[in-house]
Chain A
């Protein structure tokens, strides 16, 4: 699966 774009931290 492709890694989602965007920021993965909170």
Chain B
């Protein structure tokens, strides 16, 4: 494997966003790119990352390899990079280590680190292609604020999507609260758009603890996409350049 990423910062932000959910995981490398799928310990949430080969320049992966990496170790090494550094990931066949090289774009500084790999026996789940009943795009900062605000009142949030808009509501010991968003187009700042694409009304309840955790990825993308269907996991997607993505799936609360 040899994969050069224009911004080391991208991988750093991905790792910062997921490391409180998953600790040790396999980075599956093949000629289409670098993928990661991992559940949290309680099997409530699933992280799915895809960094497509097009996100790298150049990208070369001659044989499929799984790089088993402890994310705390990876985070430590990624913190050694400067924010504008270019990152090259390298691994040999049947590797013991993954090699990370940071290059400064405007100086001759080159730093190099090896991280020891681990054997991780990871369960891989099949995620079915789903036509969701509601697809909502909204500013990622807005979603983060809603989740944090409602978590002050309750541990769970009901998300209801109708023709009128999307309503986030909660009920707790001190009282209740709700935030409703309607479709909204801002020509000057498309990052502020709220788009709601609905085929049938949806109402589901989710744990806010996990949603707040997912929102650590807000720095990766100005917009977040929420995809919902009744009685299936919520998809929270942060799109990255070149069709790469960081996705989180969250199992709904049941038995309301």
A binds B: no
